Structure 1
């Protein structure tokens, strides 16, 4: 049939497969592959005759195939049991070990028939034969990779060819039929192309795609996909005990001209550069033991290129060296692809901790160890080069007022000594750190603020306090030199005095005083609980008022003067139930100062002690 259709889904029906193609006008065409296809899994070669008889009775067929073992890289013979899904489900529990039973049958079908989801075909049922893609920019960026790392180059080229195949015109109306807008529909199609999986529903977990991608890449190299226990190397029962990501305590203060240098895709880069994969961490080669992982008892193989390593490395290089750059140049399509690749790469470490079939504690610990070492080394080199680092967090290094030449030397040395790419991500005109980790305020040259981890800017924080933070940031943005800090402090002092008076004299809108929180328990659990947390107090009052609540719902309350309700002392009310004269002004003054403390203390400000409504800020400032 010669209608151009985008392959978006497939369904196994006994011994046939029904494929679904999307036409440009939004019509969905079904096409039945009349060639027989049976789902399958693999079992060890030595199988009892009685199980053979059971397989035959269930209509299954048995054949043998040679497959490579991922960990030994040696070829061995396995039995392939094929049959309908119902029969296989009954049969697989008769075997001590089963391979590839968890890989969805439709993905196996796509692999066996050499078709690719997310691709537009002129003939339904046709094999995937990519149109030739010539791109000077691609060749320029990856020509050296062919000699340096040919395995990775082949992965990069295959992904690039799939991504760059012709894309049909997608209208908003067509996208709506699938529950997407146009941009999200395009993202779903590109994700389908990259991972060769059916068009995703919104509920599909991200780990599904990286697992499918890895599994099919192993099959394409002739490997049998290991079981979850084999991937874990017998360590599935233990947790990940290695150290967490490194965060270096910031130097408290107000800093001008602060540069933030980031490792580009640090965890994916560590996986790639240090050859971290399920079969390479703690390999069985005695000569590799010397290649130890920093701060861990693990080692990494020197003789083989890890399959997970090369896959993640290919996706990372394709994003950083091609699509991310093109996206920054204004190519909207390239930005969409870059975002998809980023979403896959973001979880490449997390899945090695918690996702069955990818988890491996030693691998996860090794990834973190190399990432920690990268930040430590960058900090050490910065000091050696006469730079002033003031904070480090996972993949970021904050350096105050650096000389360009020294900073470039830092970047060059990191590349030379670690093989990792460190680059300037952003520059703050003013940056304020307390002693707290993962909490600071950055202000750009144009006055825009970049608050990270601040109590005054959390989603639950009252709008009144967020406005105070913005007013404070405006004054801080006027700082041009160290001398300006004192004047900014005086202006901020006056702002806080005024806002405190606004609270004391109730010059505010009640809606601006709301704390918003998510309910983590069901209404039934809340009503039965003896704990009367403020969120529960609010929820109970809403339930009693006949308002239906659910777990995961956001509710908003205000702090009020204490009152008794259901025999208990309550201190909050739902925001819509509150009158202005009920607001507990002392609590709000205290909250404003405590939430702003991460900004005020580095400016040389102390703590406040509220005694009565006539208190002033004299106790707040040193």
Structure 2
């Protein structure tokens, strides 16, 4: 790594750190060199405190070499400007002072993030001169103006956010060679994703953090850029303590059991982000203090939402959602690979915009979380009600999706239009199944497209842990189901599926299978030592113990695969599985696999009328399983 304070050709800002009072920024050049630039101006981390607490720490702060300045910052909840004392000094000094204070603001921000806030620098951006401020190039284009032009009049605050993020995303990207990306721990595609995430959230490229870190960084970036003091975690929570799982869960309307043809799936795209945006859900807008806003109640909750202010979290999430859905996702579908990458990055941020309000310190707020789910539940419930009013037949609803059987296109459009008019949300046809099968269970169905491709959701027969043998049976079953053209064809399909299952049962009994196709794959959730010390005799533990005894090192989170075998004694206990590589075909417990095959396929077989009947026959032949 080279160090040069006077280079005047550009580089991509990827990281930074503070050593004592000096800031080092790291830029990568197109030729792969990593340049370290040192800011000659001293910089110290800082915290903010209330003026009322100045006397507690004034003398000690001066003795520790800290500087104290008065600054006016906007309060997110009152919108008033309040005076705060900014104490700057070495981290060790600030740590000593914090113990004597009742409340400290912005202490959880990493020092390098404080620096880039102060200097108006943005990570993931290519600069012509090292250390310079971020000044975005003009990157507007016709498609952007065409897409978001009306937003300037309809929601000017959101337009400002959309434009600001768009400018950052669209800044020039340097050519990064494959070997350079590898040195930084990426392949070329992941490097590009990291660059876009870095410039959206203004975080170092090297940040290996969970998605919640980036959404918090984004929120804080927006607040700081508008002159707000970043509230404490307690202020974000509005003084409310954790209530565990807040409010009611996402709404799932139980399916009608059966086989349905020509089933449309209508979807609220980005439902939670849309509710946050459309209904103005933010930390400062939930249960605001304005008497006139109390009439704006949240469905099925005791909360209300502000009518006088645009919520910061609401507009932030709304801007990212609009950028993804209306711009980058559309361009990605048209074959723009770069736009597809940006769309995926934005999706990864948006997908947790609700979850962070439940459990992430510094974003959690019980009333906000409850309000988000309440509006989402209301959206599905209302769409279901409107569908029935318009003469449509909904058969299943899950969180953000509505399944409608054999609808007329005109009625579907009426449903979409009414939802938009009454709720302000966008409902659209997401997919169409030629055949769709529901059991009584929620979140478990099989959809088959016109081209014969299958879309299994929540089925035991298609879980990652399910043996390949059973997955093959499901695919064979789906092929027969895909041949259904009318209700009259269902009985014929039932007969063909019956024969398939009979043949597969014979395959098991006559050992016409590969041992590796009989493996169950599971993740170890405990370490080797915890497993060895456990009194639990779970099948995954049985497999792990045998692997450990064979000298194979296992780690928590590792996937292991086992087969069910005839019972045997091991370490003084009865074991019923062996690691897949240890198993001989003659050891396989054939009856267990016949039972497992039918049990796992039951979610498909029962709606077809192929239900197991009672039997005392331990061999469970096919005649005992089907009517």
Q: TM-score range by the shorter chain?
A: over 0.9
Q: Any residues of structure 2 matched to 1:278-297 within 5 Å, and which?
A: 278-297=283-302
| Corresponding residue for residue 127 of structure 1 | 133
1:108 matches 2:125 = no
Secondary structure of 1:11's aligned partner: strand
User: In the alignment, does 2:174 pair up with 1:168?
Assistant: yes
Q: Does 1:525 align with 2:530?
A: yes
C-alpha distance after superposition, 1:290-321 (max 9, x if no partner):
11100111111111110000100010011111
**Which residue does the alignment assign to 2:543?**
538
Q: Which of 253, 265, 274 is matched with 1:248 structurally?
A: 253
State the partner residue of 2:561. 556
In structure 2, which of residues 96, 119, 138 is the aligned counterpart of residue 90 of structure 1? Answer: 96
78-87 or 375-384: bigger deviation:
78-87
Q: Do the aligned residues in 2 keep the contact of 1:327 with 1:335 (CA within 8 Å)? A: yes
**Cα deviation, residue 614, structure 1:** 5.4
Q: Residue 325 of structure 1 aligns with which residue?
A: 330
Q: Deviations over 1:197-246 (max 9, x none)?
A: 11034x31111111011011111111111000110111134334300000
**2:195 equivalent in structure 1:** 189
Match 2:44 to one of 30, 38, 50: 38
- Tell me the equivalent position of 2:368: 363
1:574 paired to 2:575: no
Q: CA–CA distance in 2 between the matches of 1:586 and 1:88? A: 68
| Structure 1 position 521, deviation (Å) | 1.3
* C-alpha separation in 2, matches of 1:280 and 1:76: 19
Residue 200 of structure 1 corresponds to which residue in structure 2? 206
Matches of 2:219 and 2:613 in 1, distance apart? 56
Q: Does the aligned pair in 2 maintain the 1:371–1:394 contact within 8 Å?
A: yes
Question: Residue 511 in 1 paired to residue 516 in 2?
Answer: yes
Q: Deviations over 1:435-494 (max 9, x none)?
A: 100000111111111111000000110110000001001111111111111111111000
Give 1:210's aligned residue: 215
CA shift for structure 1 position 97? 0.3
Counterparts of 1:211-610 in structure 2, within 5 Å, are 211-607=216-612
The answer (yes or no) to whether the contact 1:275–1:301 under 8 Å persists in 2 is yes
d(CA) in 1 for partners of 2:591, 2:399: 39
Show CA shifts across 1:169-218 (max 9, x none): 122111111111111100000111111111034x3111111101101111
SS in structure 1 of the partner of residue 548 of structure 2: helix
Give the Cα separation in 2 of the matches to 1:409 and 1:428: 21
SS at match of 2:52: coil
Query: In 2, distance between residues paired with 1:50 and 1:227?
Result: 20
- Given that 2:140 and 2:167 are in contact with CA atoms closer than 8 Å, whether structure 1 keeps it comes out as no
Structure 1 Cα separation of the partners of residues 588 and 442 of structure 2: 33
The reply to whether residue 178 of structure 1 matches residue 187 of structure 2 is no
Secondary structure of 1:47's aligned partner: helix
* Residues 590 and 610 in structure 1, CA contact (< 8 A), matched pair in contact too: no
For 1:161 and 1:542, how far apart are their aligned partners in 2?
54
Match of 1:66 in 2: 72
Give 1:613 shift.
6.9
What SS does structure 2 have at the residue aligned with 1:471?
A: helix
Pick closer, same or farther for the CA change 1:102–1:50 going to 2, 3 Å.
Answer: closer
Structure 1: give runs of 5+ residues left out of the alignment. Answer: none
Q: Is the contact between residue 240 and residue 364 of structure 1 (CA under 8 Å) also seen in structure 2? A: no
Deviation of 1:50 after TM superposition, in Å, equals: 5.1
- Partner Cα separation in structure 2 for residue 98 and residue 386 of structure 1: 58
Please state how far the C-alpha of 1:610 moved relative to its aligned partner: 6.6
For the Cα contact (< 8 Å) 1:240–1:362, is it kept in 2? no
Q: How far apart are 1:87 and its partner, in Å?
A: 1.6
Kept in 2: contact 1:227–1:357 (CA 8 A) = yes
Distance 1:567 1:610 in 2: 34
Runs of 4+ in 1 over 3 A off after TM superposition: 608-615
Contact 1:590/1:608 (<8 A) preserved = no
Match of 2:85 among 54, 79, 83: 79
Asked if 2 retains the 8 angstrom alpha-carbon contact of 1:244 and 1:368, the reply is: yes
Q: Structure 1's 403 and 593: CA in aligned 2 closer, same or farther, altered over 3 A?
A: same
- For residues 387-441 of structure 1, the C-alpha deviation after alignment (integer angstroms, 9 at most, x for no partner) is 1111110000111111000000000000000000001111111111001000001
Contact 2:516–2:580 under 8 Å retained in 1:
yes
Instruction: Write the distance in 1 (CA, Å) between the matches of 2:87 and 2:569.
Output: 69
Q: CA deviation at 1:49?
A: 3.2
Give the count of matched residue pairs. 621
- The CA deviation at 1:607 is 1.3
- SS of the aligned residue for 2:53 comes to coil
What is the CA deviation profile of residues 351-404 of structure 1, one whole-angstrom value per residue up to 9, with x for unaligned ones?
Answer: 000100000010000000000000000000000000111111000011111100
Superposed displacement of residue 65, structure 1: 0.5
Once the two structures are superposed, residues 48-103 of structure 1 have per-residue CA deviations (whole angstroms, 9 ceiling, x without a partner) of 53511111111110010011111111111010001122221222121110000111
* 2:3 match: none
Gaps of 5+ in 2: 1-6
Greater Cα offset, 91-100 or 591-600: 91-100
CA offset at residue 616 of structure 1? 2.5
Query: In structure 1, what is the Cα distance between the partners aligned to 2:91 and 2:117?
Result: 17
SS at match of 1:76: strand
CA distance in 1, matches of 2:317, 2:168: 17
Partner of 1:6: 12
- 572-581 or 322-331: which moved more? 572-581
| Contact 1:504/1:613, CA 8 A, preserved across alignment | no
